[in-house]
Amino acid sequence: MAVPTSATLRTLLFVLNPVSGDISKAELESAITAYCTERGRRARFYHTTGKNDLQHLQRHLQQHAYDAVFAAGGDGTVSLVAEALLGGLVPLGILPLGSGNGLSKDLGIPQDPQEALKLTWQHVVRPIDTLQINGRFAAHLADLGFNALIVERFDQGDTRGPGAYVRIATQEYLSYVPATYQVRTEHEQWEGAAFMLTIANARTFGSNVIINPDSQLDDGEFEICVIEPFPGTAAPGILYNLYTAGFDASEYTRRLQGRQVSIRVPGATRVLCQIDGEPCYLTTPIEVTIRPRSLRVLVPAAL
């Protein structure tokens, strides 16, 4: 990993969603500007609109030169900026402002935005892998099955926060019917019913569930983490394992590893998926490939 000097980053772009979250964007911009000015940086701001954001941001980056681009927001904003920077030399910085902040947690980035701003001054640049899922970009985690359903219901609702997520999950669990999946990697294949199936480039969901304990974001491979259907009596033990890095301890879990994976869902031509926290529908078979070290990210210098 290269360690830039403090003079490396001078002109910084901060990408914000002006309508997301509870924090005042005007106050946030003032705080960022003051912080950067005190340290000899120039802060510029870009507001997303919800319409063709990726194309507009890519065009903006082609027309303006920045030393780093910070995603100031939740998982959706982080994924947007990461995709815009994919394959280039300009690094991604993250100011976590969402409810999950999954990728920033896996990278060891402080969850306090004021502390995360120190990345403008002290950092290392870490190249990480990204995924392509049926042509869609993914930097963190995607899944099929129960969690994808909950993410979709949560996205459609008016209430945010962990309480709303738990309430929706409890309601849906009682009537949920697991699907059957056929998974083929270059090393192995598996077929069976799954409560949920996670395509894991990383380790931890924003909810602090550790779905892929041994994950490395830069090892050139990713994992398929399967939770098979389980009786209600096994649920407490599975939950405990998921919060204590014990995913592999259950008889109802398994992991497959590869660089290229094909996932089929017999009888289905289209399936619900969540990618980096955003629900979507994918046609089957689902083809997943890895792009090794394709994204440069600013992380704390101690890591």
Tell me what pLDDT residue 248 has. Answer: 95
* 162 has pLDDT over 70: no
For residue 221, give its domain range.
136-292
194 falls within a domain: yes
User: Would you call 203 exposed, middle or buried from its count of C-beta atoms within 10 A (0-12, 13-18, 19+)?
Assistant: buried
* 291 has pLDDT over 90: yes
DSSP 58: H
- Backbone φ, ψ for residue 155 (5° rounding): -65, -30
pLDDT in tens, 83-92: 999 999 999 9
Per-chain mean pLDDT for the chain:
91
pLDDT in tens, 198-249: 999 999 988 889 999 999 999 999 999 999 999 999 999 999 999 999 999 9
Segment among 37-41, 151-155, 229-233, 296-300 with least mean pLDDT: 151-155
Tell me what pLDDT residue 6 has. Answer: 45
Question: Per the structure, how many domains does the chain have?
Answer: 2
pLDDT in tens, 168-192: 877 878 899 999 999 999 989 999 9
Both 121 and 142 in one domain: the answer is no
Tell me what pLDDT residue 155 has. Answer: 75
Mean pLDDT of all residues in 126-131: 97
Both 109 and 188 in one domain: the answer is no
Tell me what pLDDT residue 171 has. Answer: 82
* 100 has pLDDT over 90: no
DSSP of 79-103: HHHHHHHTTSSSPEEEEE-SS--HH
Tell me the pLDDT band of 3, cut-offs 50, 70 and 90. Answer: very low
Mean pLDDT of all residues in 118-145: 95
Say whether 24 sits in a helix, a strand or coil.
coil
- What CATH number did the domain enclosing 254 receive? 2.60.200.40
Report which of 289, 210, 286, 284 is spatially closest to residue 253, judged by C-alpha positions. Answer: 210
146 falls within a domain: yes
Both 178 and 105 in one domain: the answer is no
* 303 has pLDDT over 80: no
Both 269 and 227 in one domain: the answer is yes
107 falls within a domain: yes
181 falls within a domain: yes
- What CATH number did the domain enclosing 100 receive? 3.40.50.10330
Both 219 and 87 in one domain: the answer is no
Both 143 and 262 in one domain: the answer is yes
Strands (E), 91-246: 92-96, 124-133, 136-138, 141-145, 179-184, 189-194, 196-200, 222-227
Both 64 and 165 in one domain: the answer is no
Both 60 and 43 in one domain: the answer is yes
Both 174 and 281 in one domain: the answer is yes
5 falls within a domain: no
Mean pLDDT of all residues in 193-201: 97
Beta-bridged to residue 13, according to DSSP, are: 44, 69
Both 198 and 50 in one domain: the answer is no
4 falls within a domain: no
Tell me the pLDDT band of 154, cut-offs 50, 70 and 90. Answer: confident
Both 60 and 151 in one domain: the answer is no
* 1 has pLDDT over 60: no
Both 141 and 287 in one domain: the answer is yes
Mean pLDDT of all residues in 97-112: 90
Tell me what pLDDT residue 166 has. Answer: 76
User: Whole-model pTM?
Assistant: 0.90
